[in-house]
């Protein structure tokens, strides 16, 4: 059986062939996570941040039915302007998009899948998906958690999105054997804020230690990836009471309007931005840049 290999940009291909550090980036954050033009501006800043740290960025997407690792400036602009018209592509969507020659913005799940196929080991994102509030009745659990259990990629994030049930998300990851590491912290960060009240598995304080732990996981032949939670910088952390009130209101509105499935996260993020007067978007941008810096340093150490 032939295995499809992603199309690599010249920059990404040369870096991988030379054994230089490469960091994968998702594209759903561009099309579904932020409004235009902040989404494209942020994507460019994130890529430049990784280059400034001495690594190569590989933004991942599906365009014209082709898996791509490394996008041109025009392709970033296209995804930003098209926004939610582009399919939010999770694992179940890939066969359809490829067979039909369609476009897809990759989630954490599909970014991990395509990065692994391309030979990229480190991936920086904003926050992972997880177990949604009320999942004990809705069974709304992100495919990101299953992908972390099976695909050998290190995911560096600011914790699970605080619109989720963080306790159940950690329980799910524990069941699947996914190590949850806190960079400079013993407490799970909650995306917009540095603390959640939940403990991570281990605290790690240097990129070199993270690289060594990931290398040991690979040498042991343990299936699956690794989750590194990197708290948002103190100066951009939001007041927990303010953000939690906004989240509770947004969740209630989503329930009233019957919004669920793929549409729930973009709806909640947009409503939270409105309810916080744009503060949540500013925090979102800063935490992504912070994760990109750490990912580049880990990729170099690895």
The residues assigned a catalytic role are: 26, 161
CA distance 281 to 42: 11
- Structure tokens given for 90: 């999770």
Alpha carbons within 13 A on the beta-carbon side of 281 = 20
Residues in CB range of 301: below 8 A, 6 or more apart:
207, 208, 210, 211
- Please say whether the dihedral angle defined by the alpha carbons of residues 232, 263, 114 and 220, taken in this order, is positive or negative: positive
| DSSP H/E element including 119 | none
| 3-class secondary-structure state, position 79 | helix
- Structure tokens given for 257: 């309007």
* C-alpha of 283 from chain center: 15
CA distance 121 to 211: 10
CA distance 192 to 228: 16
The torsion angles phi and psi of 85, rounded to 5 degrees, stand at -70, -25
182 beta partners: 203, 229
- Whether cis (ω within 30° of 0) applies to the bond prior to 206 is no
| 3-class secondary-structure state, position 164 | strand
């Amino acid at each position: 059986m032939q295995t499809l290999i992603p199309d690599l940009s010249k920059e990404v291909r040369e870096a991988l062939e030379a054994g230089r550090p490469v960091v994968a980036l998702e594209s759903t954050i561009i099309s579904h996570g932020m409004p235009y033009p902040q989404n494209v501006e942020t994507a460019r800043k994130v890529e430049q941040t990784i280059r400034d740290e001495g690594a190569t960025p590989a933004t991942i997407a599906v365009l014209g039915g082709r898996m791509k690792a490394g996008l041109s400036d025009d392709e970033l602009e296209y995804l930003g302007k098209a926004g939610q018209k582009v399919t939010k592509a999770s694992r179940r969507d890939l066969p359809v998009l490829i067979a039909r020659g369609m476009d897809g913005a990759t989630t954490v799940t599909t970014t991990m899948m395509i990065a692994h196929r391309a030979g990229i080991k480190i991936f920086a994102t904003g926050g992972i998906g997880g177990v949604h509030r009320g999942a004990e009745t809705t069974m709304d659990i992100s495919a990101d958690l299953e992908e972390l259990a099976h695909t050998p990629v290190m995911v560096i994030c600011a914790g699970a999105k605080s619109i989720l049930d963080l306790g159940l998300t950690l329980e799910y990851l524990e069941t699947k054997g996914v190590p949850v590491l806190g960079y400079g912290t013993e407490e799970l960060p909650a995306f917009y804020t540095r603390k959640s009240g939940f403990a991570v598995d281990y605290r790690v304080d240097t990129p070199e230690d993270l690289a060594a732990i990931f290398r040991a996981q690979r040498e042991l032949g343990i299936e699956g990836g690794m989750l590194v939670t990197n708290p948002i910088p103190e100066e951009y952390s939001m007041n927990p009471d303010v953000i939690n009130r906004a989240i509770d209101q947004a969740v209630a509105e989503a329930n009233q309007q019957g919004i669920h499935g793929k549409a729930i996260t973009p709806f909640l993020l947009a409503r939270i931005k409105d309810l916080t007067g744009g503060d949540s978007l500013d925090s979102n941008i800063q935490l992504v840049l912070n994760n990109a810096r750490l990912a580049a340093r880990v990729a170099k150490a690895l």
